[in-house]
Amino acid sequence: MPANDIQLDEHGRLRHFLAIDGLNHDLLVQILDTAENFAGIGHRVVKKIPLLRGKTVINLFFEPSTRTLTTFELAAKRLSADVLNLNVPTSSTSKGESLLDTLQTLEAMHCDMFVVRHQMSGAAHFIAQHVAPEVSVINGGDGRHSHPTQAMLDLFTIRRHKQGFTDLTVAIVGDVAHSRVARSQIAALRMLQTGEVRVVGPKTLIPPGLPADVRIFHDLKDGLHDADVVIMLRLQKERMQGSTLPSSQEYFQVWGLTEKRLYAAKENVIVMHPGPLNRGVEISSEVADGDRSVILQQVSYGIAVRMAVMSMTLGRGAQTERAHAH
């Protein structure tokens, strides 16, 4: 689902942020650097900067997600934007009004940005194709396709702890087949020239057509061997059809990340999870709450990364952002 045809403006800057595909190494680094400038704002007494004052951001969520919605809302408010969360189940879309009619109604209110989360792959791209030229769209997750801001906050977390990517071995473990996060992570890690990208899981949960340089493991111990970063994925039962797995308990017995299994990785490994995590299914509480877990830090960093994407997408350069952030 190509997004590069509309993501960038004529100067190569972000107009929409729909997918990692179609972007480039330098742009991803710019997002990470810009997020770095915003990372300390949450520790200030006044947690706001006036960068997007006068702008209106609408969170258009057709699929529930407390964590993603909350961090997008906080990011926009910390940039001083006005924010509206559209409660889609009680909106006119549930009464038969078409998506395009809803968009036109919202555009008539002179909004500047839609953050879109939808259960259908390609929904954000569709909306971006039909919005007014001055409106930007950010993909907050669409079907099995893409979740680019989650991938960028994951990369920001990795860079914060490991400084770079070229010497790292990153293992993405679990339900890769149904994970839009994993697709975006793989694309971003490859774009930033990560040393080795692995996907680890049962054959039924590894999708076909992965890039040739991504290593595939069907044994957890082998997949974790000497890994610098382990990213555990949520078991996406709501997207599975048929009996892909026998049971959650049996899954944990073979694929759940425990302290004992983590010994296969490097001693200074960091453990990540995009959330919401299922304790006792993908990961034990001992690991999730342990010293090597950076799961809560991912949430904090998500605000800075989404601030970066919002500010860049609405047309401000990195120098302007840096001046306001410091």
Q: Which residues in the chain come in under a pLDDT of 70?
A: 1-4, 87, 89-97, 237-246, 315-326
What is the rounded distance in angstroms from the CA atom of residue 17 to the CA atom of residue 215?
28
At residue 101, the pLDDT reads 80
| pLDDT tens-digit readout, 113-151 | 999 998 888 889 999 999 988 899 999 998 878 999 999
| Claim to verify: residue 32 and residue 133 sit in the same structural domain | yes
For 51, other C-beta atoms within 10 Å of its C-beta total 21
Clarify whether residues 72 and 209 are in a common domain.
Answer: no
Answer yes or no: are the C-beta atoms of 301 and 153 closer than 8 Å.
yes
Same domain membership, residue 157 and residue 293: yes
| 112 shares a domain with 217 | no
Number of structural domains (the chain) is 2
Range of the domain at 117: 4-145+300-325
Same domain, 276 and 161: yes
Residues 210 and 115 in one domain: no
Position 324 scores a pLDDT of 46
Q: Based on the domain organization, do 286 and 313 belong to the same domain? A: no
CA distances for 31 relative to 79, 188, 266, 281, 310, angstroms = 16, 12, 28, 33, 10
Q: What would the two tokens of residue 255 be?
A: 């694929």
**Strand blocks (E) in 54-112:** 56-61, 82-87
pLDDT of amino acid 322? 44
Shared domain check, 159 and 131? no
Q: Which residues make beta-bridge pairs with 271?
A: 230, 293
What pLDDT does 66 receive?
82
CATH number at residue 211: 3.40.50.1370
State residue 250's pLDDT score. Answer: 85
Q: How far apart are the first and last CA of the chain?
A: 38
Strands (E), 69-194: 82-87, 113-118, 136-142, 169-173
276 and 219 both lie in a single domain: yes
| pLDDT digits 0-9 by tens, 93-102 | 555 567 778 7
Residue-level pLDDT at 318: 37
162 and 90, same domain (yes or no): no
Q: Are residues 213 and 83 in the same domain?
A: no
